[in-house]
Amino acid sequence: MSKPKSRLEDVRNIELAAEMIRLGARTQVICYEIPAISVDKAISLCKEITGEGPAKGSLPFSTEWFLEFVPNIHSSLFLGIYRNCEKSSDHFSRAELLIAAYRLYIEWTKSAEIEADLSFTRAWMLVRNVTSGSLKAKKCETCSGHFIVDGFHHGKLETCNLCSIKQRTGPLACLNTNSEEGQFQDAWDN
């Protein structure tokens, strides 16, 4: 565990962790992104902010979730916001970028009256998976928006989920229902 060089850096790290907790980040995410925050510290911060202990159980590791119909749309939107944030700043850490992008995502969905489907932890998972290449964004040939596809997806993306929405019934209804978080969780096998 690397020790923070200065008190100010220590304060900054705690502030970042606190903001991540407010946005709903799991303890594991905080410890991974901010190595200076120990597990104990993250748990006590979580108790102090939310008034209860951190959520237990495994992290949602599955990449399949990002390819499902509604989650795919939300994750593509989030990645778009994240990349725009990344573009306008070259000196932010990933934790800062995640916080900024997630805040924008939440506010945007709220203003559009769409229920936010992506949790902070899932958003983090998405960025990690895209960085590692397990998932990637591909340009839809019909609308030229970038959508999340499997890392092994070869060839062109002919139609994205939103372009093919005509073939589905009740598109609005399916975007407003909030699918239960944790439904598709894989085992935390570490």
Query: Could you list the residues that contact other proteins (CB under 8 A)?
Result: 73, 76-77, 80-81, 83-89, 92, 96, 100, 103-104, 108, 112-114, 137, 139, 143-147, 162-163, 165-166, 171-172, 175-176
**Distance between CA 88 and CA 150 in Å, rounded?**
27
Pick the closer one to other proteins by CB: 34 or 85: 85
Q: How far is the CB of 134 from other proteins (least distance, A)?
A: 20
**Of 91, 120, 146, which Cα lies nearest the Cα of 32?**
120
Q: Which of residues 10 and 96 has its CB atom nearest to other proteins in the complex?
A: 96
Three-state SS for 171? helix
Among 60, 78, 159, which Cα is nearest to 117's? 78
Q: How many residues does the chain have?
A: 190
Instruction: Write the CA distances from 116 to 3, 64, 86, 92, 111, integer angstroms.
Output: 36, 19, 21, 25, 11
Nearer to other proteins, 27 or 78 (CB): 78
**Residue with Cβ nearer other proteins (14 or 137):** 137
60 CB burial (10 A radius; 0-12, 13-18, 19+)? buried
Residue 31 or 73 with smaller CB distance to other proteins: 73
**Helix, strand or coil, per DSSP, at residue 157:** strand
Shortest distance (Å) from residue 61 CB to other proteins: 25
